Amino acid sequence: MSSFEENYELILSRERRNAYVLAKELISKPEASVWMVLLPILFVHHAFSIQRYKKNIHGFADNFIKTRKKALDLAFGSLTTGENVVINLETCFPSLEMSAEKEKKVCEKQLEEIRILVRHYKELLGAKGKTYEVLVKNAYGTSGKFKEFLNQLEMAEKEVRRYVTKVFQTTDAAREVSKKIDKAEERIREKEAKEIF
């Protein structure tokens, strides 16, 4: 396995872990009740609720990581072939129907997020290290440079979510979820930066 492939696996593993941490912060786990001992039928209901919770966690994490995986694949492909990455609607969203204006606009906003992630992943893929933390340290050198990347990414992600809540999910509940995602991601990133540097 080449160092690019090893680094790819380390990065993807960390992105998955972060997606699951975020999902667990956003989706409430069903609580057990003392009544389950007295009324076994409640335990059956709880078991189904736990299964649904796990399915929701996995579904959220899988969807959340799609943009990151796309950017990681583009960065990996560029480094392994030596070709420049083309980041446009056709390469990033090949199944997008170009006549759907709202969908096209949100994808255009996601392109900035993908550009930032591709630059980041190329740095990490090219770094030396046996752990994700070491890759980040060797790629960025200082916490200030790493935080600069995190701030750029945060701004791009917020812009995408702002557009989505303005055009597609316009309810107060959707805006609240968007705010929860922003705050949870901020906590996760702060913790990660402190652990690494």
Q: Quick one: tokens of 32?
A: 């057990």
Q: Average the pLDDT over 115-119 and give the result.
A: 98
| For residue 37, pLDDT beyond 80 | no
Q: What is the pLDDT of residue 99?
A: 61
Domain count, the chain: 1
Confidence of residue 91 (pLDDT cuts 50, 70, 90): confident
| 132-140 vs 3-26: helix crossing angle, rounded to 10 | 110
Under a CB-based contact definition with an 8 Å cutoff, are residues 12 and 72 in contact?
yes
**Integer Cα distance of 117 and 10 in angstroms:** 15
Q: What is the pLDDT of residue 50?
A: 82
Write down the residue that tokens 């922003």 correspond to: 182
Q: Give 126-174 pLDDT, tens digit per residue.
A: 999 999 999 999 999 999 999 999 999 999 999 999 999 888 888 898 8
pTM for this model (two decimals): 0.87
Task: Report angle CA 111, 62, 68 to the nearest 5 degrees.
Answer: 30
Under a CB-based contact definition with an 8 Å cutoff, are residues 124 and 7 in contact?
yes
| Distance set, CA 137 to CA 32, 72, 73, 130 (Å) | 42, 18, 22, 12
In whole numbers, what is the pLDDT of the chain averaged over residues? 90
Confidence of residue 46 (pLDDT cuts 50, 70, 90): low
| For residue 123, pLDDT beyond 90 | yes
Which structural domain, as residue segments, surrounds residue 111? 3-196
| For residue 38, pLDDT beyond 70 | no
